[in-house]
Amino acid sequence: MADSEYLSTRQAALRLGVSLGTVQNMVESGALEAWKTAGGHRRIPVASVDALLARRRSLTPSAQESSGQLDILIAEDDQTLQMLYQMTIDGWGLPIKLRIVANGFDGLLQVGQRVPDILIADLMMPGMDGFEMIRRLRANPDLARMDIIVVSAIDREEVLKRGLPSDITLFGKPIPFHEIKGFLLGRLASRQRSA
């Protein structure tokens, strides 16, 4: 086993552009392969990190594809709802670039690659759930301009009890597309006024 085939948690975090804690969560949830040394330090195969980076690149559109468009990232694990978001939002004919991920880890990776204008997130997802993803995003002051909309079947009182930041827009399921469309139209209008 050559050391160059493995990364420390810190090296993996630098390579992925995420925090040390995020890499630790990725390892614990199985999103990244790892093993522990006799001293208890994690070693992460370079191949596992590279595979995650390749997946991130395949999900990330080029900068020229998104110029002049509202960039929206959706974090939703249900494939049927992913298709519903895609078909409905595409059908509006608005200048929107849509990215869709299935869990909080991929959501963080996408935000790290390019900060969206708006994140629409479910709360119950495998690996890293929406609660954890949103807490991590809101802990970064550089991401304060990103609007976050939560669409969840969890009762509003329960959501608030679990401590989401107060600046989050919260909607229940089924997905209220008319409300989301109004929000996006408002954001597009304010962008045109400031342009």
pLDDT per residue as tens digits for the range 10-43: 888 888 777 777 777 777 767 778 888 888 888 8
Q: Residue 125: left if φ>0, alpha if ψ -120 to 50, beta else—which one?
A: beta
Domain boundaries of the chain, sorted by first residue: 3-56, 62-194
> Confidence band (pLDDT; 50, 70, 90) for 3?
low
Alpha-carbon gap, residue 37 to 73, rounded angstroms:
37
pLDDT at site 59? 56
pLDDT of residue 87: 94
What is the value of pTM for the model shown?
Answer: 0.70
What residues does 187 pair with on adjacent strands? none
The C-alpha angle 131, 132, 136, rounded to 5 degrees, equals 120
SS3 71: strand
The CATH fold of domain 62-194: Rossmann fold (3.40.50)
Domain 3-56 has CATH 1.10.1660.10: yes
Note the pLDDT of residue 190: 79
Q: What percent of the chain has pLDDT over 90?
A: 42
